[in-house]
Structure 1
């Protein structure tokens, strides 16, 4: 009877060891994912700050709004990092859940979007300036929506 219980104990010990190793792997994987997230976010913040510093022709209001946006992103970065440090596994699960919500909207779907009017080919047309002025007036007055609309109309006359 003792051998049987000894074998059971050894089996339970192996099972427990496997479970601990699996949990350690999950923790290591989650911390790597979290670290990568913060490295990427830090790089994006640094790039945006560099962009603001290098653009000398930015208007003051634009610079203020960009600086405010950057400060808000920095605050979110530190808040996220504190949340990650407190609970790395929970943080990654929340991020995955948020990403899953976003991924469900938009994107390419069969049958979605504006239907094509035909085959697209790029064409360059040379016309006298007065003819272009006439076409521009027709578009400006709302008779045609655009150059393609005008030329489709000409094609439909045939």
Structure 2
């Protein structure tokens, strides 16, 4: 059975209260991880409050957003438990995860498709019949594309 809007809002209020209680506890007890969890907790509490105050949100959107925020809350609690168990290890793992992300993507020497030459844009005016011939050659597989056709013409010189 699907939850009604009122039940979802009540769950959001309860989740918001849990996050705020945990946030208060973090502010009281944590030293090394205080800044990390204060920012994460404040952000999560703000998102929950924003979602709770939006009256025009459709029920499907509310379900989706509440599920996302509840998952964030669960990750928040899990991270806090990991921090309490091993603060140094928690931050070392966080830094290692951040370093992995930073190494992905971006320009790398030798990566990408090799150039066939220098690129210049050209506009060619031909009669429609000639364009139809070229299109049929491409369609029949003799050439891959217009550039392939014109490179073939150039190589015949």
- Greater Rg, structure 1 or structure 2? 1
Structure (1/2) with the larger helix percentage: 1
